[in-house]
Chain A
């Protein structure tokens, strides 16, 4: 069991203006899963992802990562978890401007604390894994949207994390680039990487193995995908 949450709650604000975003959700994620969080905006899926990805803290309930309760982790400890254990792919890519593909992908290694030998190899491998070896020395602003997202995936991969969180990774892309991104995510999953995909599109979510539907901070459905879509067999996303 990679992730186990019990009765997880999250609310923003305090007192009268307190807004409850998550109303006690419980579930587990195994190693090697490809799970889609599905729901409209405001359903709490992004908030849930942020908590699972150590970007935010829950208001209540327990969160066990690899069996360890993360409740009392300090800010620096959470930063270390984000650095080593998880990788993020965001809708808006968030690549550093005026910086090469290579340097963008290397970024997590700079914060890794210990001096890593042969980081260049690691970086090159991650770039190769997303098929951008020929673009390694390009600047991030010289890339297309699809290429940018692939750089973001390489950056998420570079420290070989236990799990990758992809928050609407195809949201800013045309459908052709989008399917390329889904292909890469499915390939990674085939190689054993655990993946959590956050999306509001049913179609996109069906590339996962399991769909968890959220609505108003509750899990309304948690089922395996009956007819899984394989990006390899598709030409466009839709």
Chain B
């Protein structure tokens, strides 16, 4: 114990006597640990952002897309082919079918970008034709007025609900409720304004205008199909079962015979979450490998400095051996010294890394992303362990060299 305390004091004295050199070594270690902390923290932040994006619309969602699901290739839409197999009536059938008992709400969508104007003020914005269940499915709320009703959905009503950004862009300070806007050549009455939803699915949900689905299909777009559907189930655990039930209803409605492939595809949110998580994990691992290289360089720096330190103190080693130090004493002396350097580098690195991570989170939040500053006790502990292990690993060779020196040769070393 006395030996340990004394050796620790000695190591600190040695380091403080060579401050500049110790600083440089600590810097090398610091960069490695700081990059580890940044990767862990920013990586966790990015992952939580992505996961939040998905779970904010609810994890118990099912998406139905027109066209066959071809695992081997991209969907047909990518090639500009419009698949028209999915219709409004499909949605209504799913919603009311006793064969899909866990379906809570079904929202069908058509999307387009249109010119919208009010009193000479014209903007280009996303137009979403949807059904009355949209707020339930998307977890969206009305700020003023109301959303499209199921009657309006059926009877081609010319009503519109504005997203927050679209409302601001079009009306500025004016209250848009009950005013008439013009979309293409048709007049629509504004019946509601949505609360801000922020950015989900990497799309600004607030810069769009909602009109009844069939109104959009008939009056504006001249089509009869829907782009996609989103269906909310009662519980995430019932997703796989509901997916299967919906599939059967649609196959029946589309007259698909046994053995023939579906002309639609169904995805559930959990799968998407899984895929995204594994992608972000892969990115994190890649970054961690780069951090590992920084750590390796830092470790080699430590080894380098310790080798110099050993050669500088050959006489001291010889003397210590002459007064009775055994190999283990010399080995421990230098290992304690490297551990101290490594730990200092680790602690400074944690501080620097945390600072950068906080800064990152701050900037991300400032830019409007829902970014969490995540720094787990686990990654802190790992950082400390890594720095210590790096110090011990790279410090072992110099310490071992010192310990096996012959006392006479060490004393006579010129």
User: Interface residues, chain A, CB within 8 Å of chain B?
Assistant: 50, 53, 55-56, 75-76, 79-80, 82-84, 88, 90, 92, 94, 96-99, 103, 107-108, 110-112, 115, 155
Indicate whether B315 reaches chain A with its CB closer than 8 angstroms.
yes
Decide yes or no: A115 and B2 within 8 Å by CB, A79-B326, A84-B324, A88-B323 being known contacts: yes
**Given A79-B321, A82-B323, A94-B318, 15 further pairs, Cβ under 8 A:** A55-B408, A80-B324, A82-B324, A83-B323, A88-B323, A90-B322, A94-B315, A94-B322, A97-B17, A98-B17, A99-B10, A99-B13, A110-B2, A111-B329, A155-B323
The answer to whether B316 and A110 touch across the interface, beta carbons within 8 angstroms, is no
Interface size for chain B: under 10, 10 to 19, 20 to 34, or 35 or more residues? 20 to 34
* B407 at the binding interface (Cβ < 8 Å): yes
Q: List 22 A-B contacts (CB under 8 A).
A: A50-B408, A53-B322, A75-B326, A76-B327, A79-B325, A79-B326, A84-B324, A88-B323, A94-B316, A94-B318, A94-B411, A96-B316, A96-B319, A97-B17, A98-B17, A107-B323, A110-B2, A111-B3, A111-B323, A111-B325, A111-B326, A115-B1
Q: Determine how close the nearest CB of chain A comes to the CB of B1; give it in whole angstroms.
A: 7
What is the chain A residue whose CB lies nearest that of B329?
Answer: A111
Q: Which residues of B lie under 8 Å from residue A94 when comparing CB positions? A: 315-316, 318-319, 322, 411
- Report the separation of the CA atoms of residues A94 and B17 in the bound assembly, to the nearest whole angstrom: 18
**A154 CB, min distance to chain B CBs, angstroms:** 12
Asked if B320 CB lies within 8 Å of chain A CBs, one says: yes
Q: Does B6 sit within 8 A of A, measured CB to CB? A: yes
Shortest distance between the CB of A228 and any CB in chain B (Å):
29
* Total cross-chain contacts (CB, 8 A): 64
CB-based contact B6/A110 at 8 Å? yes
A125 to B24, CA, bound (A): 42
Residues of A within 8 A of B2 (CB): 110, 115
Select which of A90, A92, A107, A115 is within 8 A of B320 by beta carbon. A107
Partner of B322 from the list A55, A75, A110, A112 (CB cut-off 8 Å) is A55
Closest B residue by C-beta to A53: B322
Asked whether A76 lies within 8 Å of B13 as measured between CB atoms, the reply is: no
Which residues of B (288-311) have their CB < 8 Å from a CB of A?
Answer: none
Give A166 to B316 CA distance when docked, in angstroms. 18
Q: B residues touching A (Cβ–Cβ < 8 Å)? A: 1-3, 6, 10, 13-14, 17, 315-316, 318-327, 329, 407-408, 411
Contacts A56-B408, A94-B411; is A112 near B324 (CB within 8 Å)?
Answer: yes
Docked Cα-Cα span, A79 to B403, in Å, equals 12
Report chain B residues within 8 Å CB of A76: 326-327
Cβ contacts under 8 Å, A97 to chain B: 17, 316
| Across-interface contacts of B325 in A (CB, < 8 A) | 79, 111
Pick from B315, B320, B407 the residue with the most CB of A within 10 Å: B407
A111 surroundings in chain B (CB, below 8 A): 3, 320, 323-326, 329
List chain A residues, Cβ under 8 A from B17.
97-98
A153 to B195, CA, bound (A): 87
Contacting residues, chain B, for A107 (C-beta < 8 A): 320, 323
Quick one: which of B1, B315, B326 has the most chain A CB within 10 A?
B326
Taking CB atoms, residues of chain A closer than 8 Å to B315 are 92, 94
The 10 closest A-B pairs by CB, nearest first: A83-B324, A94-B319, A111-B324, A108-B323, A79-B326, A111-B325, A82-B324, A76-B326, A55-B407, A55-B408
CA–CA, A184 and B324, complex, Å: 23
> Inside 8 A of B319's CB, which chain A residues have their CB?
90, 94, 96
